[in-house]
Structure 1
Amino acid sequence: MPATNIAPARQRGAGATADALSVLNSVFGLPGFRGAQEEIVRHVTDGGNCLVLMPTGGGKSLCYQLPSLLREGCGIVVSPLIALMRDQVAGLLESGVKAAVLNSTLSFEEATAVEQRLLAGDLDLLYVAPERLLTPRCLSLLGRAKIALFAIDEAHCVSQWGHDFRPEYIGLSVIAERFPNVPRIALTATADDLTRQEITDRLALAGAPRFVASFDRPNIRYEIVDKQNAQTQLKAFIQQRHSGDAGVVYCLSRAKVEETAIALAKAGIVALPYHAGLDAGRRARHQDRFLNEDGIVIVATIAFGMGIDKPDVRFVAHLDLPKSIEAYYQETGRAGRDGKPSTAWMAYGLSDIVQQRRMIDESTGAEAFKRVSIGKLDALVGLAETANCRRSRLLGYFGESPQAATCGNCDNCLSPPLVRDGKVIAQKLLSCAYRTGQRFGAMHLIDVLIGRLTERVKQFGHERLSVFGIGSELNEKQWRAAMRQLVAMGHLRADSEAFGALKLTDTARGVLKGETEILLREQTSGRDRPSRTKSRRGDLAPAPGNSGQATDANLLGVLRAWRSEVARTRGVPAYVVLHDATIEGIAASRPRTPEALRDIPGIGDKKLERYGRELIELVNGTAS
């Protein structure tokens, strides 16, 4: 079987013409480009700069990996996380690409060896941490090497308006200053207009084209439930909907991460904690188990996940409200990278709004930053409270007009909530908050509205108020839902300095006077328990290489076992050896010759050479 040969791509200076599609097929085993990939690849290969916004799983990596193979020199990829570098380099090496990293995990001797390979022209791609790139030693090294391009991955990190700003990214402006003739490609999955502009300014991309792909992830089902007992709700969600699946659960604090991981483990779910408070060795072991084993659930703070390439994460759950729609989109986007049906599930309550507002108010950021942060939080609360299609709301935030008013794959579309005239309810609630002095939180207001004669109610004499007991027609859960929605509409605000006291805003006057229309969403009886994740959309394509054929379950099991053993021997995640879609394609088509195996997406020349004989023997030796 022929070895991978990408020599033509390395000989552009000698006059040879490399064809992007042939390299895509021979190296990565992919039959064609998706979306704007081809236009981006050709633009950068021809020496152009650009900004690429493409959702997680949309194929951003190929947009700089291919030009690095098609241009003279080595592509330099600036990446913020060691895990991202490790996974991508492992995958590239499996495909026969000469790739390496320069980061803090290397010894001096190992780093020196990588530097020598770069200077000798023996690397196609080099992944560098931003803080390493900015050192005088590294800049000097790059100045002496032949550089094909610079790719700034997770480019939103350069913006103070982005959801994951990293100070070390600020210095990356030096790339344009020191290497003005080397093409630069900035890539991110999430960036609003403010963030896009700052990326453009800081990385000197003025005038460069922006390639903005659709932000839609049709295979992900978005679900947001009213938070009651979050851990109990989470356990039920996993056991009923995603038993045995790999997933990520996000919590705001380290303590909550630990508590949740223990609770899941007691329920028989294989769950591991991950946060910055764990020692580095334990974090690494937990991450490796998540990447290499099936059915592991990671419970983590947001420190986990950026750049993780694991394609078969079937769900992402949030037990706390993220900071913004950008953060929510980035984190939920780690589900279903392989294009298969997956779930983004979140439990959300009024306390989440109070907590996030307090964090913003207590931050050391400038007032302008706080205003933008509050606006981003309000947009996310609006997404959580909407009675309409969540996907449409999400796409609209990023400036994208959905093709249809309903997506058929979010909780609001699958189980539409009831909406009723809430003017009287809102007036009662606002009046109660006003007459009690705007000094009390949700629980006390509910006690007054329902007419509970608690010690605290008696302490302040609130049983003598005209609003005492005027809301007995609703229960506690319904009043909490009404409060959240009035906060989301902007008629109430949670005062973080007064321990979550609910205060009237300027717009509350119009509600009290009956001049403002109020529609409140009601929860339907089956709202928290949709059927097992299965998209109702008719436009989801079958897994690549499957072509709708029935998968041979027996052969699939054999292939999975073989892949696990190969991954263990080679010390790489299973999906680096072969993606699920590839082994499912093999199990469906049962190729019996190298030529037929080569036609399976994901089988490039190098993987055919390395694994082809074994795979064909497994197919021929397994009864259908």
Structure 2
Amino acid sequence: MQNILQEYFGYQQFRAGQKDIIDKVIDHRPTLGVMPTGGGKSVCYQVPGLYLDGLTIVISPLISLMKDQVDSLRSMGINAEFLNSTLTSKEKKRVESELVSGNLKFLYIAPERFNQPQFIQMINKCNVQLIAFDEAHCISKWGHDFRPSYQEVISHVMSLPHHFRLVALTATATKEVQEDISSKLGIAPNDIVETSIKRENLTFKVDNTYQRLNFVKDYVKQHRNQSGIIYCSTRKQVEQLSETFDDLEIDNVMYHAGLPKEERANAQRKFIDDDVKLAVATNAFGMGIDKSNVRFVIHYNMPQDIESYYQEAGRAGRDQLDSECILLYSDRDIDLQKFFISSSPADDEYKEKQGEKLRQMIQYTKTTKCLEAMMIHYFNPDEKLEECGRCSSCVQAEKNYNMTTEAQKILSCIARLKQNEKRNMIIQVLRGEETNQISNLGYNELSTYGILKNYTTNECHHLLDELRYKGYLNEHKEILSVDQSAMDVLRGNVEIMTTPFRTKPTEIVDIQTITDVDRSLFNRLVEVRKNLSKELEVSPLSIFSDQILEQFAKRLPDSKKEMVLIDGIGSYKLKHYCPIFIDTIKTYKQPI
């Protein structure tokens, strides 16, 4: 596996979770992988697909996503194809011929393809070794982008005669969604591999400005040479904002479900090919965006839930370079999202769950706690948290109340409890409340019983949240426990600051542009990549990501020996793509 990773993908080491997922898949254990956007989910089926002697079928929700993945595999010299409605009859016959002859390693299809008896007959004759469900959250009713066709295809897949392996992959799945996917695909709890959604190259910011239009105009002007997406809640808003940028002579494409199919495809292709830097879109412009160098994602309106927000914001910085995710909102956004929920044809149970998700989304916009930590806690309540130090809350929130004394009292109280307890019980003990359970456990005899008797329940929640988000308290299945790092607090070695309990500080977005590479050379390399992509008829980013071009512009490699030391350059790209970039760098380095 290591050799395949290095040979084709140019990486020396697997990322977190990848090897674990691949080992389970090879061992014929149906597996669910939950990894962040940009975390390398495709490697989890592409590496075993290359290792196994047969065909890998990838079930993918969007046509554009299929083409980009196929382009990427072809750029590494791997035989891959897709079957969808964009193909002509002649092209379709060619792909089917390749499929039946056994020449294909990867075939990308939409779930609806399994409704065609002719396709099933062809697949039955193939040596199918692996089936991968990409964007697997679409399987679950409780996922933010549920698609009935994704559930319906499962029975067809499970009826295939092959002894195939199965893997499902997604970037956004709460515990409830993970359980739903696993039950439908027969995945055991021990075969769920979840890595942290933390992405240290992303900076999350929230701004409740009432001058949203001025904000985005100023921001885009300052970042004209960077790729970015602005998401809006309605088609009308998309059209108005796109027109505003047209008036400012800022090239942009707009994308929403009301546009003709051809116009949408053209807009998406222009954006992915770097012909246009800015896209203004509704959430219809989402999973199909396989573009690694998006430097900013701005939400002009608040989304309905954190899953949708993370999925869309996660389009930024997939090449691991620093990027910004900015959420603008006002109270009018809340009313709009409530309308969307109430007018939905879904049942009451679904509406109730969506209402709770909206409440948590609103809490995200109002919190003074670390935004990254809050998002991590939403998806995995048991993960150890720490403040990111980058988000608007960490940077701008006025934490001028010293809560060290309260922290020491809380930590001392929890440490003295006879057993691990949930938050509500801890607060009852801290406030000195009288209940039968407290008496039976003898907690009313503790020296710390009632130690915060003058604090309200909400104030205790605030203090506990601060300790949890700073990593001094850990959580497992809603049980809170003291982290080892809390000894520094108890000994008085650190001070803990928080926001005054009843204030709502205004958070200001700090805009920074980081330039640490030779931008002149980088821009020249981008142009070389662009010309090469047109010559080969593939996406520019399937040749080299911006991250790799930045490495070129930093390290100035002028030989294959130096280039192969850069992560992401496999033997195929080294042979077929690198020479033209080496020549460009050599020319650039020559004195005038």
Q: What is the Cα deviation at residue 75 of structure 1?
A: 0.5
In 2, the alpha carbon distance for the partners of 1:229 and 1:555 equals: 37
The answer to whether structure 1 residue 22 and structure 2 residue 3 are counterparts is yes
- The residue aligned with 2:523 is 557
The answer to whether structure 1 residue 86 and structure 2 residue 67 are counterparts is yes
- The residue aligned with 1:239 is 221
Cα shift readout 1:450-505 (whole Å, capped 9, x = no counterpart) = xxxxxxxxxxxxxxxxxxxxxxxxxxxxxxxxxxx9xxx9xxxxxxxxxxxxxxxx
**Quick one: which of 60, 63, 81 aligns to 2:41?**
60
CA separation of 1:161 and 1:219: change in aligned 2, threshold 3 A: same
Task: Give TM-score, length-normalised by structure 1.
Answer: 0.75
In 1, the alpha carbon distance for the partners of 2:92 and 2:514 equals: 47
- The residue aligned with 1:194 is 176
- What secondary structure, in the 3-state scheme, does the structure 1 residue paired with 2:589 have? coil
In 1, the alpha carbon distance for the partners of 2:217 and 2:517 equals: 31
In 2, the alpha carbon distance for the partners of 1:593 and 1:534 equals: 28
Alignment of 1:498-517 (within 5 A): none
**What amino acid is aligned across from residue 54 of structure 1 in structure 2?**
M
Does the Cα contact within 8 Å between 1:392 and 1:402 map onto a contact in 2? no
The answer to whether structure 1 residue 214 and structure 2 residue 196 are counterparts is yes
CA separation of 1:102 and 1:21: change in aligned 2, threshold 3 A: same
- What secondary structure, in the 3-state scheme, does the structure 2 residue paired with 1:595 have? helix
- What secondary structure, in the 3-state scheme, does the structure 2 residue paired with 1:387 have? coil
Q: What is the Cα deviation at residue 115 of structure 1?
A: 1.7
In 2, the alpha carbon distance for the partners of 1:351 and 1:521 equals: 21
**Quick one: which of 561, 567, 571 aligns to 1:605?**
571
In 1, the alpha carbon distance for the partners of 2:567 and 2:352 equals: 47
Give unmatched runs, 5+ long, in structure 2: 402-457, 463-499
Which deviates more from structure 2 when the two are superposed, residues 54-63 or residues 572-581?
Answer: 572-581
In 1, the alpha carbon distance for the partners of 2:313 and 2:135 equals: 16
In 2, the alpha carbon distance for the partners of 1:193 and 1:181 equals: 29
Cα shift readout 1:251-310 (whole Å, capped 9, x = no counterpart) = 111111000111123234322211122122222221121111266111111111213221
Q: What is the Cα deviation at residue 89 of structure 1?
A: 0.4
- The residue aligned with 2:256 is 275
The answer to whether structure 1 residue 618 and structure 2 residue 584 are counterparts is yes
- The residue aligned with 2:508 is 528
- The residue aligned with 1:204 is 186
- What secondary structure, in the 3-state scheme, does the structure 1 residue paired with 2:258 have? coil
In 1, the alpha carbon distance for the partners of 2:274 and 2:22 equals: 34
**What amino acid is aligned across from residue 237 of structure 2 in structure 1?**
K
Alignment of 1:183-332 (within 5 A): 183-206=165-188, 209-240=191-222, 242-293=223-274, 296-332=277-313
Q: What is the Cα deviation at residue 206 of structure 1?
A: 3.7
Q: What is the Cα deviation at residue 342 of structure 1?
A: 1.0
Q: What is the Cα deviation at residue 572 of structure 1?
A: 2.1
- What secondary structure, in the 3-state scheme, does the structure 2 residue paired with 1:272 have? strand
Q: Give the alignment's Cα RMSD to 1 decimal.
A: 2.3
- The residue aligned with 2:95 is 114
In 1, the alpha carbon distance for the partners of 2:167 and 2:386 equals: 34
In 1, the alpha carbon distance for the partners of 2:513 and 2:503 equals: 24
**Quick one: which of 108, 114, 119 aligns to 1:138?**
119
Does the Cα contact within 8 Å between 2:206 and 2:509 map onto a contact in 1? no
**What amino acid is aligned across from residue 562 of structure 1 in structure 2?**
V
Q: What is the Cα deviation at residue 45 of structure 1?
A: 2.3
In 2, the alpha carbon distance for the partners of 1:53 and 1:613 equals: 37
CA separation of 1:593 and 1:531: change in aligned 2, threshold 3 A: closer
Q: What is the Cα deviation at residue 157 of structure 1?
A: 0.4
In 2, the alpha carbon distance for the partners of 1:597 and 1:237 equals: 35
The answer to whether structure 1 residue 380 and structure 2 residue 361 are counterparts is yes
Does the Cα contact within 8 Å between 2:558 and 2:585 map onto a contact in 1? yes
- The residue aligned with 1:479 is none
In 2, the alpha carbon distance for the partners of 1:410 and 1:403 equals: 18
Q: What is the Cα deviation at residue 148 of structure 1?
A: 1.7
Does the Cα contact within 8 Å between 2:392 and 2:509 map onto a contact in 1? no
CA separation of 1:304 and 1:555: change in aligned 2, threshold 3 A: same
Does the Cα contact within 8 Å between 2:53 and 2:129 map onto a contact in 1? yes
Q: What is the Cα deviation at residue 71 of structure 1?
A: 0.6
Q: What is the Cα deviation at residue 145 of structure 1?
A: 0.5
Q: What is the Cα deviation at residue 336 of structure 1?
A: 0.7
Cα shift readout 1:558-579 (whole Å, capped 9, x = no counterpart) = 3222111111222222111111
**What amino acid is aligned across from residue 620 of structure 1 in structure 2?**
K
- What secondary structure, in the 3-state scheme, does the structure 1 residue paired with 2:42 have? helix
**What amino acid is aligned across from residue 406 of structure 1 in structure 2?**
E
- The residue aligned with 1:457 is none
In 2, the alpha carbon distance for the partners of 1:199 and 1:107 equals: 34
Does the Cα contact within 8 Å between 1:231 and 1:263 map onto a contact in 2? no
Does the Cα contact within 8 Å between 2:129 and 2:163 map onto a contact in 1? no
Does the Cα contact within 8 Å between 2:377 and 2:385 map onto a contact in 1? no
**Quick one: which of 557, 563, 575 aligns to 1:591?**
557
Q: What is the Cα deviation at residue 50 of structure 1?
A: 0.2
In 1, the alpha carbon distance for the partners of 2:343 and 2:523 equals: 53
CA separation of 1:195 and 1:140: change in aligned 2, threshold 3 A: same
Identity of aligned residues (%): 34
Q: What is the Cα deviation at residue 551 of structure 1?
A: 4.3
- The residue aligned with 1:170 is 151
Alignment of 1:98-109 (within 5 A): 98-109=79-90
**What amino acid is aligned across from residue 314 of structure 1 in structure 2?**
R
- The residue aligned with 2:164 is 182
- What secondary structure, in the 3-state scheme, does the structure 1 residue paired with 2:253 have? strand
Does the Cα contact within 8 Å between 2:57 and 2:107 map onto a contact in 1? yes
- What secondary structure, in the 3-state scheme, does the structure 2 residue paired with 1:581 have? helix
In 2, the alpha carbon distance for the partners of 1:592 and 1:532 equals: 32
In 1, the alpha carbon distance for the partners of 2:331 and 2:517 equals: 46
**What amino acid is aligned across from residue 121 of structure 2 in structure 1?**
S
CA separation of 1:362 and 1:381: change in aligned 2, threshold 3 A: same
CA separation of 1:355 and 1:520: change in aligned 2, threshold 3 A: farther
Does the Cα contact within 8 Å between 1:419 and 1:522 map onto a contact in 2? no
- What secondary structure, in the 3-state scheme, does the structure 2 residue paired with 1:60 have? coil
**Quick one: which of 512, 521, 537 aligns to 1:571?**
537
CA separation of 1:255 and 1:552: change in aligned 2, threshold 3 A: closer
- What secondary structure, in the 3-state scheme, does the structure 2 residue paired with 1:186 have? strand
CA separation of 1:222 and 1:605: change in aligned 2, threshold 3 A: same
- What secondary structure, in the 3-state scheme, does the structure 2 residue paired with 1:221 have? strand
Q: What is the Cα deviation at residue 400 of structure 1?
A: 4.5
In 2, the alpha carbon distance for the partners of 1:342 and 1:297 equals: 15
CA separation of 1:555 and 1:344: change in aligned 2, threshold 3 A: closer
Cα shift readout 1:572-603 (whole Å, capped 9, x = no counterpart) = 22111111222222333333333322222222
- What secondary structure, in the 3-state scheme, does the structure 2 residue paired with 1:178 have? coil
Does the Cα contact within 8 Å between 1:419 and 1:519 map onto a contact in 2? no
Q: What is the Cα deviation at residue 65 of structure 1?
A: 0.5
**Quick one: which of 9, 25, 32 aligns to 1:44?**
25
- The residue aligned with 2:337 is 356
Q: What is the Cα deviation at residue 139 of structure 1?
A: 1.9
